[in-house]
């Protein structure tokens, strides 16, 4: 669904009615962080006896985002939510089956706008809180993500062969090594524990703060990719954003940071998790050339190749 100003305007009376008069005038805008063609607007939320609050209106949202935004609200207000505070939500607007949310407007972020070395520890802390707060809901009907690595590795080899990327010989040799290890790596990876929930899209552009860009607890946005998985998936995904910035990766260790944050909350961060993280690194780094449109920046590819070589050495 593409952003349609006319549709947003037509649905506004129904939205105002659903919010019982608490929602003020809505100013629509296009958010950098949103997916697809959602309509997003800013407004004020006014409730009797409370100070007015700045809010963000968003529709449509996928059912998964609506579910987890609702689920992760602090029932008694005893602790700050790891996701935005939800003021109102629903699954229909007018005659449309269309999920919508009204959430707090977070004043600081995304953290990806300006680098600070504390960002990784703060996002790691938020990831661990997310893992803790989703833990009461058992994984029953959903499965962890299962990538088909074999054709991706072949595509990566072809991309290296057909494009003038740096270190072609090293890339070819490294991908061949991974192809030889493929069966064992994938067996280990698919045998991981996926009975827990992960954010699934953990990176600095999905990290906001209520307090400051440089300090305070991080609030995680964009819950459309929440799924069953292993904590190392979130950790390596966060780390991968820094592969092209070795200076930042040298100063911060995302996988260790997530493991440390989990242990502080008495969550499992098993030693074997670091071996799983290496398997994830190997598979993701080796297939990076298969996605040259999104991952083809020379600096990123150089970082991925370095991670690939180092992880293979540790895995032997």
In the predicted model, is pLDDT for residue 33 greater than 60? no
Q: 80 falls in which pLDDT band (50, 70, 90)? A: confident
Inter-axis angle of helices 149-162 and 271-286, to 10 degrees?
40
Average pLDDT over residues 51-67: 94
Q: 316 falls in which pLDDT band (50, 70, 90)? A: confident
Average pLDDT over residues 133-137: 93
In the predicted model, is pLDDT for residue 36 greater than 70? no
Q: How far apart are the C-alpha atoms of 252 and 166, rounded to whole Å? A: 26
For position 272, what pLDDT does the model report?
Answer: 87
Q: What is the 3-state secondary structure (H, E, C) of 182-216?
A: HHHHHHHHHCCCCCEEECCCCCHHHEEECCCCCCC
> Across the chain, what does the average pLDDT equal?
92
* Residues 6+ away with beta carbon under 8 Å from 313: none
Q: What is the pTM of this model?
A: 0.92
Q: Which helix (H) or strand (E) segment is 45 a member of?
A: strand 39-45
- Rounded to the nearest 5°, which phi and psi values hold at 227? -160, 165
Q: What is the pLDDT of residues 259-279, one digit of tens each?
A: 999 999 999 998 889 999 999
Determine if the peptide bond prior to 39 is cis (ω within 30°).
no
CA atoms within 13 A on the CB side of 127: 36
For residue 97, count CB atoms less than 10 angstroms from its CB and return exposed for 0-12, middle for 13-18, buried for 19 or more: exposed
In the predicted model, is pLDDT for residue 29 greater than 90? no
Region of poorest pLDDT, from 140-144, 181-185, 215-219: 140-144
Cα distances from 53 to residues 15, 21, 75, 269, in angstroms, run 17, 14, 19, 38
For position 3, what pLDDT does the model report?
Answer: 53
Task: Name all domains of the chain by residue range, CATH numbers in brackets.
Answer: 5-104 (3.30.200), 111-315 (3.90.1200.10)
Q: How far apart are the C-alpha atoms of 178 and 284, rounded to whole Å? A: 11
Q: How far apart are the C-alpha atoms of 208 and 221, rounded to whole Å? A: 7
């Amino acid at each position: 669904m593409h952003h349609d100003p006319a549709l947003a305007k037509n649905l506004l009376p129904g939205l105002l009615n659903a919010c019982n008069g608490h929602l003020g005038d809505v100013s629509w805008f296009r958010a950098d962080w949103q997916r697809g063609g959602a309509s997003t607007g800013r407004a004020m939320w006014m409730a009797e006896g409370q100070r007015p609050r700045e809010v963000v209106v968003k529709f449509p949202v996928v059912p998964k985002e609506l579910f987890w935004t609702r689920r992760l609200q602090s029932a008694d207000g005893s602790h700050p939510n790891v996701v935005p505070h939800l003021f109102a939500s629903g699954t229909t607007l007018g005659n449309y089956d269309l999920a919508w949310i009204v959430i707090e407007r977070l004043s600081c972020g995304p953290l990806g706008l300006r680098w600070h070395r504390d960002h990784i520890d703060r996002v790691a802390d938020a990831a661990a809180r997310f893992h803790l707060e989703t833990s009461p809901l058992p994984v029953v009907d959903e499965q962890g993500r299962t990538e088909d690595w074999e054709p991706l590795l072949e595509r990566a080899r072809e991309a290296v062969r057909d494009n003038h990327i740096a270190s072609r010989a090293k890339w070819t040799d490294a991908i061949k090594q991974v192809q030889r290890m493929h069966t064992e790596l994938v067996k280990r990876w698919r045998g991981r524990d996926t009975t827990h929930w992960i954010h699934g899209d953990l990176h600095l552009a999905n990290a906001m703060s209520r307090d400051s860009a440089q300090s305070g607890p991080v609030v995680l946005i964009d819950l459309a990719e929440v799924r069953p998985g292993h904590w190392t998936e979130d950790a390596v995904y966060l780390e991968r954003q820094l592969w092209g910035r070795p200076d930042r990766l040298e100063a911060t260790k995302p996988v260790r940071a997530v493991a440390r944050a989990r242990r502080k909350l008495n969550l499992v961060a098993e030693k074997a998790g670091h071996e799983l993280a290496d398997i994830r690194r190997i598979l993701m780094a080796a297939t990076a050339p298969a996605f040259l449109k999104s991952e083809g920046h020379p600096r990123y590819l150089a970082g991925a190749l370095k991670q690939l070589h180092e992880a293979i050495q540790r895995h032997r």
